Amino acid sequence: MRTWPREAATSGAVTHTNHRDLVQVKRAYKFRAYPTRPQEGRAARLLADHCDLYNAALEERREAWRMRRVSVSYGVQSAQLREIRKADPGGHGRHSFTAQQQTLRRLNTVFTAFYQRARAGKAGYPRFKPHSRFDQVMFVAGDGAKWIPTSGESWARAAFQAVGAVKVRQHRPVCGMVKTLQLKREHRRWYVIVVAEAEPVPLPATGREIGIDVGVNRFLTTSDGEIVANPRFLAASSAVIADLQRRKARAMPVSGNRKRLRRALAKHWRKARNRRRDFHHKTARALINSSGVIAVEKLNIAAMTRRPAPKPDGEGGYLPNRAAAKAGLNKVILDAGWAQFAGILAAKAAEAGRHVVFVNPAGTSITCHACGQRCGRPRQDTVICPCCGRWDADVNGARNIYARAGLGSGQATQTA
Ligand SMILES: [Zn+2]
- Write the DSSP assignment of 72-93 as a string of letters: --HHHHHHHHHHHHHH-TTTGG
- pLDDT single digits (tens) 113-164: 888 888 887 778 899 999 999 999 999 999 999 999 988 778 999 999 999 9
368 CA → ligand 1 middle, Å: 5
- pLDDT single digits (tens) 326-351: 556 556 555 557 788 998 999 899 88
pLDDT of residue 211: 95
Question: Measuring CA to CA, which residue among 215, 173, 193, 152 is closest to residue 365?
Answer: 215
DSSP string, 336-359: HHHHHHHHHHHHHHHHHT-EEEEE
DSSP string, 148-160: E---SSS-EEEEE
pLDDT of residue 19: 40
372 CA → ligand 1 middle, Å: 6
70 CA → ligand 1 middle, Å: 60
382 CA → ligand 1 middle, Å: 13
* Backbone dihedral angles phi then psi of residue 62, each to the nearest 5 degrees: -60, -50
- Residue 94 contacts by C-beta under 8 Å, 6 or more apart in sequence? 161, 162
227 CA → ligand 1 middle, Å: 22
* Number of other CB atoms surrounding residue 146 within 10 Å: 16
pLDDT of residue 331: 60
* Backbone dihedral angles phi then psi of residue 346, each to the nearest 5 degrees: -65, -40
412 CA → ligand 1 middle, Å: 14
pLDDT (average), residues 14-24: 51
When mean pLDDT is compared across 72-76, 168-172, 302-306, the lowest value belongs to: 302-306
210 CA → ligand 1 middle, Å: 20
| Element spanning 266, H or E | helix 256-290
- 217 or 324: which carries more pLDDT confidence? 217
The per-residue pLDDT of the chain, averaged, comes to 84
pLDDT (average), residues 385-407: 92
Q: Give the three-state DSSP class for 132.
A: helix
- pLDDT single digits (tens) 159-187: 999 999 999 999 889 989 999 999 999 98
- State in Å, rounded, how far the first CA of the chain is from the last one: 47
415 CA → ligand 1 middle, Å: 16
pLDDT of residue 276: 87
* Number of other CB atoms surrounding residue 405 within 10 Å: 23
- pLDDT single digits (tens) 260-282: 999 999 899 888 888 888 999 99
